[in-house]
A and B are shown apart, each in its own frame.
Chain A
Amino acid sequence: QKEVEQNSGPLSVPEGAIASLNCTYSDRGSQSFFWYRQYSGKSPELIMFIYSNGDKEDGRFTAQLNKASQYVSLLIRDSQPSDSATYLCAVNIQGGNTPLVFGKGTRLSVIA
């Protein structure tokens, strides 16, 4: 069973703090990793992707990948109330045209 695990939350952080979202995956052969944000009642939107070990930064967002530990994380700096959403980790496990395997998501609440 190919799995992607996330803590369901809610993760509550004060405005301006760093929010840290974590994800583990079971298949060591996984090649690409994605973070999506889903607001309540809306569809998911892609916010970050990472393919190589290490950090990748995009504005206030940093994705971190550690393939040896099968761990991927998303850091959100200077968290804003508008960042309050569910964050989905997704992994390309099988490649080709197979669907990404999604975690169940972590609900983030940024408190003003």
Chain B
Amino acid sequence: GAVVSQHPSWVICKSGTSVKIECRSLDFQATTMFWYRQFPKQSLMLMATSNEGSKATYEQGVEKDKFLINHASLTLSTLTVTSAHPEDSSFYICSAREQLTNQPQHFGDGTRLSIL
């Protein structure tokens, strides 16, 4: 089955640091990838849709200058949390879908980000 690999699994860093999270589709090509954030005991929240070779589409309320998304190839998207602060601490999950019609989204294992 389709596999999405996400790294790192967890990050602990100081406030003000920028953190990059990688998302790779290992056995399929993903024109589009999706980035989610999830706070404890809350539902998934879509942050942005990442499109290969073009700008990401951000959901309302998500700061595009703070959450930089780059989708440089059909198998790799990155999310950079710039100048992270404690309120950015969360569980970040990427997802990708094969290009065929009606395919499911496959999720990476997530990155737990803790900003001290």
Contact = CB atoms under 8 A, between A and B. Distances in A.
Interface of A: 31-32, 34, 36, 41-46, 49, 51, 88, 90, 92, 95, 97-100, 102, 104-105
Given A99-B34, A99-B46, A90 B105 contact: yes
A-side interface mostly: loop
A97 B105 contact: no
Given A97-B32, A99-B49, 9 more contacts: A32-B102, A43-B110, A90-B105, A92-B102, A99-B95, A100-B104, A102-B43, A102-B44, A105-B43
Contacts of A45: 107
29 contacts: A31-B102, A32-B102, A34-B105, A41-B91, A42-B109, A42-B110, A43-B109, A43-B110, A45-B107, A46-B104, A46-B105, A46-B106, A49-B104, A51-B102, A88-B44, A90-B104, A97-B32, A97-B51, A97-B99, A98-B49, A99-B34, A99-B46, A99-B49, A99-B105, A100-B104, A100-B105, A102-B43, A102-B44, A105-B43
B93 interface: yes
